Amino acid sequence: MVRVARSLNPRIHIIARTRYVTEIPELSRLGADVVIPEEFETSIEIFARVLAHYSVPRSEIERLVDQIRSSHYEALRSGDGAGRLSLGAVAGIPQMAVERLRLPSHSPLVGRTLAATGLRTQTGALVLAVGRGGDEIPTPGPQFRLSADDVLVVVGQPAQLRAAALLVAGKGVAPAPQ
């Protein structure tokens, strides 16, 4: 569809929506000017609301959201840390960052719901999305059950992210059984 539209009108501005981030490069190659993946848009909205809650100026929030989108959501999907989004320069939020934490099979969080893990209450880190297999689950609810090898996309200050990493690795305070 994108290729046909571009061939019919080379000057048309094409905005494409896709379910998966992995389709962005192909749609761009075919001629889409903007590709919006629904996988991460909900996570970005939550991220923006977290920043607003911490009184970050709207202009800074918009700049950061634009940065995420212009990088094709790399900050939310990079597994090697290269996509880390540093928010240290944002007024009101000292050194906030987004990180991806892989859930090892031995983690006490495996098989638990997000609510039962105590991740938010014990560490202060907020789960924006969960990667499972090749899929990204944006804004998982409190009843979302974690599995081994899930990749949690979390936002928080450095100490919160360190505490979350310890909890995920099974080296922090384990949640009560449920």
Position 102 scores a pLDDT of: 92
Position 112 scores a pLDDT of: 96
Residue 134: band (very low, low, confident or very high) from pLDDT cuts 50, 70, 90:
confident
Predicted TM-score (pTM) of this structure: 0.56
Please give the residue that has the higher pLDDT: either 60 or 8.
Answer: 8
Position 87 scores a pLDDT of: 54
Would you say 97 and 86 are in contact if contact means Cβ atoms under 8 Å apart? yes
Q: What is the mean pLDDT of the chain?
A: 81
Residue 141 has pLDDT above 70, yes or no: yes
- Would you give the DSSP letter of residue 21? G
User: Which residue spans within 28-160 are E strands per DSSP?
Assistant: 34-37, 85-86, 97-102, 126-132, 135-138, 151-156
Would you say 6 and 31 are in contact if contact means Cβ atoms under 8 Å apart? yes
Position 40 scores a pLDDT of: 73
89-99, pLDDT tens digit by residue?
Answer: 454 555 777 88
Of 68, 67, 86, the C-alpha closest to 21 is: 68
Would you say 127 and 121 are in contact if contact means Cβ atoms under 8 Å apart? no
Length of the chain: 178
**What are the structural domains, with CATH classification, of the chain?**
13-168 (3.30.70.1450)
Q: Which residues contact 8 (CB under 8 A, 6 or more apart)?
A: none
State which of 17-31, 64-78, 89-103 shows the largest mean pLDDT: 17-31
Residue 108 has pLDDT above 60, yes or no: yes
Neighbour-count burial for 62-82, b at 16+ CB within 10 Å, e otherwise: eebeeebbeebbebbbbeeee
Residue 4 phi, psi dihedral angles, 5° rounding: -65, -45
Residue 82: band (very low, low, confident or very high) from pLDDT cuts 50, 70, 90:
very low
CA 132 to chain centre: 13
Position 58 scores a pLDDT of: 82
| Type and span of the H or E element at 79 | none
